[in-house]
A and B are shown apart, each in its own frame.
Chain A
């Protein structure tokens, strides 16, 4: 039952907040996402919207039918479960302004693939002695008993493929939202590589003592505000004259 959007990870940097603290941030391109399909209780047994993100260059006939009337054709599709889909229509565009600074979100992505990894890297096993006659440097050690149980238990942690799987990170703070650029900044790291596709969900939670970041936009607004004051003064002078 979470509203969300599809996005892409751009990279990381750091920003100052108004307390002067340096905040590490991940820059995400979020949306605009187009509603490609509505799923309703009556028809589908549950409520959800299917969102599309990105731009597709080549397309088969099945997708051409699915995207009929939507332009440009989205590349990535994802379904978001909602309590109700009333008020949302197919073809509607949802932008990053559904998020605001100071909000807590959940982000899912595909983690960076590590290839075949040993037990130390994959499961945080301890290393054996590197010297003193030990030859058990990075070996996994015992994987179970002998005659009893006479087999290795299912789910035994061993070496193998690591990463390249769905990872969901909770409690991520939105630091800044730029709707014009479809960019949002979140505090800390986000699963996956740069250019990786992520989905970002609303939680409805807010941070009470949030400090906004120092930004060029804020400075411009200030400058504009000052000009307004000057213009007002001018008006006053003219009125007097």
Chain B
């Protein structure tokens, strides 16, 4: 009988074969495809991973960085065909799954996560 297994299979078919390993607290550079008119190019976004959420093909992660004193967060769908490679620049040691406390920090403390 058809049931939720069908949905699981559809979601599995959407998954990327290999997903780069990174954790919350890591500093990463994420490349995603953007289109300027006809041209396509990969744009990088570097920052701290403050959350990973969702399962299966719904999973996303959020990268936070400070641009000219203003916090900028971008959420990427992990299995999106537009998402390129993810370079882990620095591994951080954190004690929680969601680093929302960094949003309240100002100045140098805003990105302070000890290295692993």
- Using a CB–CB cutoff of 8 Å, the interface residues on chain A facing chain B are 8, 10-11, 13-16, 18-20, 22, 27, 29, 181-183, 185, 213-217, 219
- Using a CB–CB cutoff of 8 Å, the interface residues on chain B facing chain A are 2-4, 6-7, 10-14, 33, 57-58, 77, 79-83
Cα distance, A79 to B55, chains bound together (Å): 41
Query: Shortest beta-carbon distance, B17 to chain A, in Å?
Result: 8
Q: Are A15 and B57 in contact (CB under 8 A)?
A: yes
Cα distance, A34 to B10, chains bound together (Å): 26
Q: Are A29 and B14 in contact (CB under 8 A)?
A: no
Cα distance, A185 to B80, chains bound together (Å): 19
Q: Are A10 and B81 in contact (CB under 8 A)?
A: no
Cα distance, A217 to B9, chains bound together (Å): 11
| CB neighbours of A27 from chain B (8 A) | 6-7, 10
| CB neighbours of B58 from chain A (8 A) | 14
Q: Are B57 and A16 in contact (CB under 8 A)?
A: yes
Cα distance, A29 to B1, chains bound together (Å): 10
| CB neighbours of B80 from chain A (8 A) | 16, 20, 22
Cα distance, A88 to B75, chains bound together (Å): 52
- Between-chain CB contacts (< 8 Å), 30 pairs: A10-B2, A10-B3, A10-B4, A10-B7, A11-B4, A11-B7, A13-B7, A13-B10, A13-B11, A14-B58, A15-B10, A16-B14, A16-B57, A16-B77, A16-B79, A16-B80, A16-B81, A20-B83, A22-B80, A27-B6, A27-B7, A27-B10, A29-B6, A182-B2, A183-B6, A183-B10, A214-B81, A215-B13, A215-B14, A216-B12
